[in-house]
Amino acid sequence: MNVDDLVAIDIHTHAEVSCRCPVDEFGKEFDEAAEKYFKFSKRPTIPETIEYYRERKIGLVMFTVDAEFELGRRRIPNEEIAEAALENSDMMMAFGSIDPHKGKMGLREARRLIEDYGIKGFKFHPTVQGFFPNDRMAYPFYELIAEYKLPAIFHSGHSGIGTGMPGGGGLRLKYSNPIHLDDVGADFPDMKIIIAHPSWPWQAEALSVCMHKPNVFIDLSGWSPKYFPKELVQYANTMLKKKVLFGSDFPLITPDRWMQDFEVAGFKPELKPLIFKENAMRVLGLKSKLGNKEDA
């Protein structure tokens, strides 16, 4: 990324509509429930998302979520996102998503995505993928990610996916308690771990893990900042000011709304450059050509 040309870096955006593969109608009830929960209906294509961010001079990290094992729904190809990032490398990065249940075939795909497509990190969603992050099944994936010194984002807390469906769509919230990432942070100290979202109802656990493990960070996506738990804002203003990152969860929440609401959420003014860009630069290994304020 040409970070000097960007006003912010959104570390949490979703690829919603593929331009290569038809929408998988199987499990469409999950989409309908999510649209009701998040109060949105417009699902942009990958190029539309990129154009939206380019107009605003905001960098973005984009990924899909591979939940084929648990939900039986085809994912958007990782390669499609990666190629879009290569074509827009001045303001975009791609993270891969591979369900750890895929084992050795998944590992082969992960290495190929890194070496052939320049994937810059990986996204896990324990609730929709149906695993605890500290399950040893997933450790070979973390070993590979650590080998290439890449970060990994983990969904945490309540899941809007499945909310309101009978039985929550069969999804278990327990998998996304961030305390399970404490084991991962301890066992893989060289892998940067990003806990995604305010982790309600386990916010204290997320703050504790982030404070205790130097390699753990928190992204602030998925909620309007107006509704952040008070303790999250308190720690972001103090002990964790270099460990919290701007993320929107686009298109569920737009960066326009997120940035507007940030101004009235109680954050200290001096945190704005850290949260909006500089902390992400450190996690992603980016440097300014004008001279970095922060070491990558």
Q: What is the pLDDT of residues 42-77, one digit of tens each?
A: 889 999 999 999 999 999 999 999 999 999 999 999
In the predicted model, is pLDDT for residue 280 greater than 60? yes
| Percentage of the chain modeled with pLDDT above 90 | 87
Closest CA to 248 of 6, 1, 14, 89: 14
In the predicted model, is pLDDT for residue 157 greater than 80? yes
In the predicted model, is pLDDT for residue 182 greater than 70? yes
Residues in the chain: 296
Give the class (CATH, top level) of 3-284.
Answer: alpha beta
Average pLDDT, the chain: 94
Residue pair 229/255 in contact (Cβ under 8 Å)? The answer is no
In the predicted model, is pLDDT for residue 184 greater than 90? yes
Closest CA to 218 of 190, 202, 240: 240
In the predicted model, is pLDDT for residue 296 greater than 70? no
Residue pair 88/35 in contact (Cβ under 8 Å)? The answer is no
| Percentage of the chain modeled with pLDDT above 70 | 98
Q: What is the mean pLDDT of residues 269-282?
A: 97
Task: State the pLDDT confidence band at 291, using cuts at 50, 70 and 90.
Answer: low
In the predicted model, is pLDDT for residue 285 greater than 60? yes
- Cα–Cα distances (Å) from 255 to 25, 92, 119, in that order, read 28, 15, 23
Q: What is the mean pLDDT of residues 154-167?
A: 94
In the predicted model, is pLDDT for residue 295 greater than 80? no
In the predicted model, is pLDDT for residue 294 greater than 60? no
Q: What is the mean pLDDT of residues 21-31?
A: 81
